[in-house]
């Protein structure tokens, strides 16, 4: 009897010891770290796209930020050390199209079937990181309307993304400014998707984008991403002869007509050139049709 009792007592002590150990581990265990909020992947890195400082591209599940101008250097696998790893990212956002842009590459090709090969979809998507508010503000419909409005004006300015440089390059777009026209008096004609012109626009765009466009205006006609960036710079930050930027016009409900004011003002609006104005409107309605979104109101100016 005494041996059996001792044996049971020993087993009970052993069991209690194990329970205490388990409970102790549970008490000292650190709480699980909260789940990290997912970061949406930027547009995929492309060897054919030239990236400028602070532009972001995704590669192998991470977002990468360029330190300076680079092309062909693979993020995380180059001797130039031009990319900074910003951490893991997840696909998605912005309507589920490439890089979060609300216009897919297939739709882009449909809108511009005869475009110059210079104007690449990858170049446009790469340029989006310079102005992340573009076509990402408001509802999905608003985002699609802004993208359509931008591309409609681009279509009009470039003849369907055919022309890179202005056809007539004889104009004097050298305004009297302290920084002058170092590239030459007649060097600041229209270039790129929105055909930016004048030395003061090249100067301001270059400062905003970290590119010397005042001394090298033709960068807007020789590098696809830079060319798209100049157009986005104007769209997002300049109201031109209008009262608001084209971006604000679309996201605040002022309508497509106000984007024409921002780009060409009374040259086309208020009866200046009804035919040219209507061509922009027709382009906009066509592109909203491709994207499957209502064009909204206030289309003319």
Tokens of 141: 């419909």
CA distance 262 to 240: 5
Say if residues 273 and 124 touch (Cβ distance below 8 Å). Answer: no
Say if residues 82 and 67 touch (Cβ distance below 8 Å). Answer: yes
CA distance 170 to 80: 41
Active site residue 157: yes
Q: Which of 105, 146, 157, 229 is an active site residue? A: 157
Tokens of 250: 């679309």
Half-sphere exposure of 178 (CA within 13 A, CB side): 0
Backbone φ, ψ for residue 114 (5° rounding)? -115, 25
Active site residues: 157
């Amino acid at each position: 009897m005494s041996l059996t009792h001792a044996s049971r007592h020993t087993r009970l002590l052993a069991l209690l010891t194990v329970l205490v150990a388990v409970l102790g581990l549970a008490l000292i265990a650190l709480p699980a770290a909260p789940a990290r909020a997912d970061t949406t992947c930027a547009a995929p890195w492309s060897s054919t796209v030239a990236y400028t400082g602070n532009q972001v591209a995704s590669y192998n599940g991470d977002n990468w930020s360029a330190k300076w101008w680079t092309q062909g250097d693979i993020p995380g696998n180059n001797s130039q050390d031009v990319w900074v790893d910003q951490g893991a990212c997840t696909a998605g956002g912005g309507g589920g199209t490439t890089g979060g842009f609300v216009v897919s590459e297939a739709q882009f090709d449909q809108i511009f079937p005869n475009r110059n090969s210079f104007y690449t979809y990858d170049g446009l998507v790469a340029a989006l990181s310079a102005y992340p508010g573009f076509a990402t503000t408001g509802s999905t419909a608003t985002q699609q309307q802004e993208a359509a409005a931008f591309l409609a004006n681009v279509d009009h300015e470039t003849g369907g993304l055919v022309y890179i440089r202005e056809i007539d390059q004889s104009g004097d777009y050298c305004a009297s400014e302290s920084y002058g026209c170092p590239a030459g008096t007649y060097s600041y004609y229209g270039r790129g998707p929105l055909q930016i012109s004048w030395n003061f626009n090249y100067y301001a765009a270059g400062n905003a984008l970290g590119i010397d466009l005042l001394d090298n205006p033709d960068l807007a006609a020789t590098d696809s991403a830079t060319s798209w960036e100049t157009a986005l710079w104007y769209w997002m930050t300049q109201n031109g002869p209008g009262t608001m930027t084209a971006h604000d016009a679309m996201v605040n409900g002022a309508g497509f007509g106000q984007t024409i004011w921002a780009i060409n003002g009374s040259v086309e609006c208020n009866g200046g050139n009804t035919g040219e104005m209507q061509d922009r409107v027709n382009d906009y309605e066509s592109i909203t049709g491709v994207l499957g979104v209502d064009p909204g109101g206030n289309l003319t100016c």
